[in-house]
Amino acid sequence: MVLPHSLPLVPAPVSALAREGRMPVTATTRVLGSSPAAAQLIDAMERRTGIRLDSTVDGPAEIELLIDPDSSAAEGYTLEIGDRAIIIGADEAGLFYGVQTLLQLLREDDAGWGLLRADIADSPRFPRRGVMLDVTRHFFGVDDVKTFIDSTSALKLNHLHLHLSDDQGWRVQIDSWPLLTERAAASAADGAPGGFYTKDDYREIVAYAAARHMIVIPEIDLPGHTHAIGVAYPELVEAPVMNDALIADSKRLGQPLPVAGEPYLGWGVGHSSVRIHSERTYEFVRDVVRELAEMTPGPYIHIGGDESLGTPQADFDLFAERATAIVVEAGKVPVAWHEMGSAAAIAEGTIGQYWGKTTPEGTHAAEAAHFVERGGALIMSAANATYLDMKYSDDFPLGLTWAGIIDVRTAYEWEPTAVLDVPESAILGVEAPLWSETTRTLDEVEQLVFPRVAAQAEVAWSPRESPERGWESFRVRLGSLAPLWKAEGVDFHPADEIPWSTR
């Protein structure tokens, strides 16, 4: 019997039929499958229910995980739950995502634990579904990043952008420039403790993410947001250039203004720049990119490019052209914030990340479109819809407001292909950034990220034409995730817009 109601799934699948009843899950339930996803399923089931499923079987099992080598639907899967549960992945990623869907269908009632019966066929709308974590303004250690990977990959997000350098500190070991971590890593915003990742730490994060089908994209922000570089190597940076907004914000927040050679503990932007016409600068960029590329198996290196307010436009464009070429020389695809689209000769194929608003302002749209003209593509991070560091409401204790107040509905109701006048095929997908000015702990990060990141996950994964792709359906399905998030220890914000489930 097919039931008329929606299944409690986020993101909404391509096709789903709810069927009557539940498949019981008990201590005798067996799992068959050689994929790493089988072990991940068993561990997740135990965390949620206390039941350790049996995986020591050769024959038929109640839950079976398979790969279809003939499928062409990258990251896709089918899931059938009746008397048995069978997940068939188009590839290992699809199998992993099928497991995440199955876990969302796990429910407890008076009869115990069970899986909602259903038939599901699913694959993503966009290949690029990302989230960014700023570990520079406040630092988050390896274990925190792993937890962040677990909770975001469970929503079928598949890229983790790590913002590894900024005015406040440098966060990754570079052997050829050791003073970066010796002198410029101990500081953070507001005088909080800093920190950095050794190369082994970084490789551990990359491997952990890869096991959850998430590609790590390291970002070294250039040529602005580079005050910390000057703390380590003063010869590489210009003196700070003050601007009216920086001065006003520093006064309003009671924060210090930047001083050359001293750690910067404020949030203000636009005052720093590397020395564009010094060849030593490009030796630095080449070394950093080379060492990052050597320990980053993913195809991308992000080189920043935003808010270089003190850099003359001609100098900025020159740097953009040389820096993107350096990334290409290192065998990686350059990614840059949309401002680098101002440079006529950025490396062909460079990917732009658009952080302007859903109604573009100034030159933002033209800068973004230039990446497409140069054979690249775009990641959509519209600040007034996707920025996870914005407040939910005026009185929310965490977050900022410069891009707007973003409640859950605002985060959900936008369309990535409707922002810019570029071909729809030029949009790789969506990334939701979390800047960490106001977040000192992972719990605070999670308060801002969840539940809004689930809205971005659905925008990026689910078909635009799906009957489930509407606010009223989404808010109910989102509410159903509460028991799963609580079981996994996710400190989500219980927004009043959402009817949160207790079971």
Instruction: Answer whether the bond into residue 178 is a cis peptide, omega within 30°.
Output: no
Q: For residue 361, how many other CB atoms are within 10 A of its CB?
A: 8
Distance CA 182, CA 414 (A): 43
* CB-based contact 89:63 (threshold 8 Å): no
What DSSP element (H or E) covers 97?
Answer: helix 92-104
How long is the chain? 503
How many DSSP H helices and E strands does the chain contain?
16, 18
Distance CA 421, CA 364 (A): 12
Beta pairing partners, 128: 429
**92, 307, 321, 444: which is the annotated catalytic residue?**
307
- Report the relative pairing of strands 215-222 and 159-163 from DSSP bridges: parallel
* CB-based contact 257:300 (threshold 8 Å): no
In SS3 terms, 298-353 reads as CCEEEEECCCCCCCCHHHHHHHHHHHHHHHHHCCCEEEEEHHHHHCCCCCCCCEEE
Is the sign of the CA dihedral 422, 426, 429, 432 positive or negative?
negative
Which amino acid does the sequence have at 29?
Answer: T
Beta pairing partners, 302: 219, 335
Q: How far is CA 323 from CA 285, 336, 362, in A?
A: 7, 10, 24
Which amino acid does the sequence have at 77?
Answer: Y
Is the sign of the CA dihedral 219, 224, 228, 229 positive or negative?
positive
Query: Can 339 be counted among the known catalytic residues?
Result: no
Positions marked catalytic:
307
